[in-house]
């Protein structure tokens, strides 16, 4: 077992920069804002922060559309602020992971401006252009944000590819000049001392060179693709996909490792991939590749589903041995692209208990753990009363499409509310002061009204708060590395309400029991035929203990066996 890599045992805290803390009253979170909150982050006990994009950007996709990779958008701060952030984080023993968006640039990036200017421009081939077929689209590829992935450009009469918004043209990664330019850019940031990279949608770099149509199949029948509005609408197993998970993408990842990452010390890389099965993760991550891959298996369940949770963990843990040397897993329940975990997987009735249960679930899983800002205080989804209050392009597009299809406005709004990425992006709730203490000005996106009850300050002094529970669990994970490296053995696999497992290595044996339901549950002893919980030591629980064989709704117990 290699215990030397810092990231294996790390809990990494994702910061959605725009919404974390605004230091200068313009309503937008900024780098200085993170610096001011580093002591809070340190106190939480996490090892690293992942900061979402802060580069020059017209903000069509809130910074994932970059127009200059090597300079910082003024509303986020300056290069000095960034260097200070790295310095101040390191001073506190916190590592810094930054977001790298490699698949596409902004259409306002000078490279694209040149590329679009004429068919003979030297940078024409830096993006993916196609003349179209008989005056129509090149093929049926879909954007993740709705509609065709092709946009017709008047100037030269050709189409360019954009797997996300039309202001995010895809780079042509087959072009060696593109690869070199992007590798140089990554070196620029690594030279500044960052400790890791989160590689945005890394499995989309290369598309089929023959531009073959994607094929959508359901039960052996082809689905009419004209009915599909975005490529997230269809389950991955129903698509023969020529835009994602292409073998050439896998070789680029290895090239990146060889030519760039390997030249630095201890750089952590996590790739975002959708769709991502264990097989795909095996291609993208492991020795000579990236370190880990995000998969979306929990998030796409979209509800609390105990049996599926069990099945997902068993599948990912079980696949490690088949994925070759260096295979490692990571888990998370929330990020900036998904609704809030308590709203999706928890319970309104047992709000606090369920938030604590999810914390205990996440922080007792093997591997590298990611958590998302606000999760530690149990932040919830927001319901803005009009579409005008939403900023997320994906949700606004979705709303428009529903309305175009004739769906009534109320239903369209409630559908948009449920899926909006703004659920995760409302400003961090620091206190019960105006705007949750996030800004002295007007926040760029409305603060969730429940900030008066749910906020950091209210929870800081309370030993029974969700925040305190997170801190205790993070510390437990530090004290018992078994939770990181130990084996994972599921118990009660058929149980519909309770999730239970053993984490074990040569140092310790821990038993985790999570009631994932709103009901009282009676446990049948002995749990796996051997363990008698009366002979164990209770390390952590989220309720006062009564009958050891009865679990209250969302009760969590972690025992030392």
Q: Which residues are catalytic?
A: 200, 272
Minimum Å gap between C-beta 79 and Ca ion is 16
For position 36 contacting Ca ion by CB under 5 A, the verdict is no
Identify the burial level of 135 via C-beta atoms within 10 angstroms of its C-beta, where 0-12 means exposed, 13-18 middle and 19 or more buried. exposed
Sequence-separated (6 or more) residues with CB below 8 Å from residue 433:
none
The count of residues interacting with ligand GLC (CB under 6 A) is: 8
Helix (H, G, I), strand (E, B) or coil at 362: helix
Among 158, 195, 200, 381, binds ligand GLC (CB under 6 A): 200
**Contact (Cβ atoms closer than 8 angstroms) between residue 370 and residue 424:** no
C-alpha–C-alpha distance, residues 79 and 523, integer Å:
56
**Of Ca ion, ligand GLC, none, which one sits near residue 510, judging by CB under 5 to 8 A according to partner kind?**
none
Stretch that binds Ca ion, among 14-22, 96-104, 259-267, 543-551 (CB under 5 A): 14-22
Q: Among Ca ion, ligand GLC, none, what does residue 337 contact (CB within 5–8 Å per kind)?
A: ligand GLC
- Residues 347, 349, 350, 352, Cα dihedral to 10°: 90
When asked if residue 24 is in the footprint of Ca ion (CB under 5 A), the reply is: yes
Query: Is residue 151 within the footprint of Ca ion (CB under 5 A)?
Result: no
The strand ranges marked E within 175-281 are 196-199, 215-218, 221-222, 239-240, 268-272
Choosing among Ca ion, ligand GLC, none, which partner's interface includes residue 64 (Cβ < 5 to 8 Å by kind)? ligand GLC
How do strand 68-72 and strand 11-15 relate by DSSP bridges? unpaired
CA distance 41 to 313: 28
Nearer to Ca ion, 45 or 446 (CB): 446
* DSSP H or E run through 98: strand 95-100
Comparing CA positions, the residue from 330, 229, 315 lying closest to residue 273 is 330
Quote the tokens at residue 403.
């309305």
Q: Give the three-state DSSP class for 560.
A: strand
- Residue 268 sits in the site that holds ligand GLC (CB under 6 A): no
Instruction: Give how far Cα 208 sits from Cα of 147, 211, 217, 271, Å.
Output: 19, 5, 19, 21
CB of 416 to ligand GLC, least distance (A): 16
Stretch that binds Ca ion, among 15-23, 39-47, 158-166, 227-235 (CB under 5 A): 15-23
Shortest separation between residue 75's beta carbon and Ca ion, angstroms: 6
Q: Which residue lies nearer to ligand GLC by CB, 101 or 510?
A: 101
201 contacts ligand GLC (rule: CB under 6 A): yes
Q: Is-cis flag, bond preceding 161, omega within 30?
A: no
Minimum CB distance to ligand GLC smaller for 232 or for 239 = 232
Instruction: Write down the H helix ranges in 106-175.
Output: 110-117
Binding partner of 61, given ligand GLC, Ca ion, none, CB within 5-8 angstroms per partner class: ligand GLC
- Min CB(206)–Ca ion separation in Å: 37
CB pairs under 8 A, 24+ apart, for 433-442?
438/19, 438/21, 438/22, 438/29, 439/22, 439/25, 439/26, 439/27, 439/28, 440/22, 440/25, 441/22, 441/25, 441/26, 441/27, 442/27
Question: If you search the block for the tokens 């910061």, which residue do you land on?
Answer: 15
> From ligand GLC, Ca ion, none, which one binds at residue 415 (CB under 5 to 8 Å depending on kind)?
none
Residue of closest CB approach to ligand GLC: 64
Q: Binding partner of residue 26 among ligand GLC, Ca ion, none, CB under 5 to 8 Å per kind?
A: Ca ion
241: nearest Cα among 299, 301, 163, 178 = 163
Q: For residue 77, what are the contacts with CB-CB under 8 A and spacing of at least 6?
A: 30, 31, 32, 54
Q: Is 348 exposed, middle or buried (0-12, 13-18, 19+ CB in 10 A)?
A: exposed
Torsional class of 536: left (φ above 0), alpha (ψ -120 to 50), beta (otherwise): beta
- Least distance in Å: CB of 179 to ligand GLC? 19
Number of residues that bind Ca ion (CB under 5 A): 5
* Residue 34 CB, nearest approach to Ca ion (Å): 11
List the x/- string, 93-112, binding to ligand GLC by CB under 6 A: --------x-----------
Footprint of ligand GLC on 53-92 (CB under 6 A)? 61, 64
26 binding Ca ion? (CB under 5 A): yes
x-or-dash string of contact with ligand GLC, 401-420, rule CB under 6 A: --------------------
- Shortest distance, position 444 Cβ to Ca ion, whole Å: 9
Q: Which stretch binds Ca ion (CB under 5 A): 29-37, 112-120, 349-357, 467-475?
A: 29-37
**Based on CB atoms, which residue is closest to ligand GLC, 16 or 485?**
16
Question: Shortest distance, CB of residue 128 to ligand GLC, whole angstroms?
Answer: 16
**Interface of this chain with ligand GLC, residues 125 to 164, rule: CB under 6 A:** 164
User: Is residue 75 within 8 Å of residue 28, measured between CB atoms?
Assistant: yes
| 422 sits near Ca ion (criterion: CB under 5 A) | no
Residues 473 and 524: beta-carbon distance below 8 Å: no
The one among 337, 376, 422, 555 contacting ligand GLC by CB under 6 A: 337
Contact residue for Ca ion among 30, 47, 81, 297 (CB under 5 A): 30
Residue closer to ligand GLC, measured from CB, 21 or 294: 294
d(CA 147, CA 163): 10
**Is residue 22 part of the contact set for Ca ion (CB under 5 A)?**
yes
Quick check: 370 binds ligand GLC (CB under 6 A)? Answer: no
Residue 164: CB minimum distance to ligand GLC, A: 4
- Burial (0-12, 13-18, 19+ Cβ within 10 Å), 308: middle
Contacts with Ca ion by CB under 5 A lie at 22, 24, 26, 28, 30
Contacts with ligand GLC by CB under 6 A lie at 61, 64, 101, 164, 200-201, 272, 337
């Amino acid at each position: 077992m290699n215990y030397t890599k810092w990231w294996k045992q790390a809990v990494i805290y994702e910061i959605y920069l725009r919404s974390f803390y605004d230091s200068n009253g313009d309503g937008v979170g900024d780098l200085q804002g993170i610096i001011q909150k580093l002591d809070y982050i340190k106190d939480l006990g996490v090892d690293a922060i992942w900061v979402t994009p802060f580069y020059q950007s017209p903000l069509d996709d809130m910074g994932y559309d970059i127009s200059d990779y090597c300079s910082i958008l003024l509303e986020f701060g300056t290069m000095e602020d960034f260097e200070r952030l790295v310095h101040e984080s390191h001073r506190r023993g916190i590592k810094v992971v930054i977001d790298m968006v490699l698949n596409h640039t902004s259409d306002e990036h000078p490279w694209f401006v040149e590329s679009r200017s004429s068919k003979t421009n030297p940078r024409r081939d830096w993006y993916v252009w196609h003349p179209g077929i008989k005056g129509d689209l090149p093929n049926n590829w879909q954007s993740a944000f709705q509609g065709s992935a092709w946009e017709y450009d008047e100037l030269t009469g050709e189409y360019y590819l954009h797997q996300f918004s039309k202001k995010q043209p895809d780079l042509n990664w087959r072009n060696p000049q593109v690869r070199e330019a992007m590798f140089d850019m990554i070196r620029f940031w690594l030279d500044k001392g960052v400790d890791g990279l989160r590689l945005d949608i890394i499995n989309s770099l290369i598309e089929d060179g023959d531009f073959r149509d994607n094929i959508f199949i359901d039960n052996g029948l082809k689905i009419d693709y004209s009915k599909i509005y975005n490529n997230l609408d269809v389950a991955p197993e129903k698509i023969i996909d020529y835009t994602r998970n292409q073998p050439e993408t896998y070789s680029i990842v290895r090239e990146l490792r060889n030519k760039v990452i390997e030249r630095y010390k201890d750089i952590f890389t996590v790739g975002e991939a959708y769709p991502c099965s264990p097989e795909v993760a095996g291609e993208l991550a492991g020795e000579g590749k990236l370190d880990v891959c995000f998969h979306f298996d929990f998030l796409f369940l979209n509800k609390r589903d105990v049996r599926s949770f069990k099945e997902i963990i068993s599948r990912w843990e079980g696949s490690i041995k088949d994925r070759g040397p260096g295979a490692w897993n990571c888990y998370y329940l929330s990020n900036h692209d998904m609704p809030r975990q308590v709203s999706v997987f928890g319970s309104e009735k047992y709000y606090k208990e369920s938030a604590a249960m999810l914390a205990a679930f996440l922080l007792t899983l093997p591997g590298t753990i990611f958590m998302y800002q606000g999760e530690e205080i149990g932040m919830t989804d927001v319901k803005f009363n009009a579409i005008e209050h939403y900023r997320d392009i994906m949700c606004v597009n979705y709303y428009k499409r529903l309305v175009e299809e004739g769906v009534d406005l109320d239903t369209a709004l409630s559908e948009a509310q449920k899926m909006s990425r703004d659920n995760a992006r409302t400003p961090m709730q620091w206190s019960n002061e105006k705007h949750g203490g996030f800004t002295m000005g007007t926040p760029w996106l409305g603060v969730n009204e429940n900030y008066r009850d749910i906020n950091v300050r209210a929870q800081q002094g309370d030993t029974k708060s969700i925040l305190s529970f997170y801190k205790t669990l993070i510390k437990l994970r530090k004290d018992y590395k078994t939770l990181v490296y130990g084996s994972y053995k599921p118990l009660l696999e058929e149980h519909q309400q309770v999730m239970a497992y053993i984490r074990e290595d040569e140092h310790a044996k821990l038993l985790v029991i999570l009631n994932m339901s709103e009901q009282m549950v009676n446990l049948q002893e002995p749990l796996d035929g051997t363990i008698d919980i009366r002979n164990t030591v209770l390390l952590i629980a989220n309720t006062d203990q009564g009958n050891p064989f009865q679990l209250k709704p969302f009760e969590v117990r972690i025992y030392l066996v």
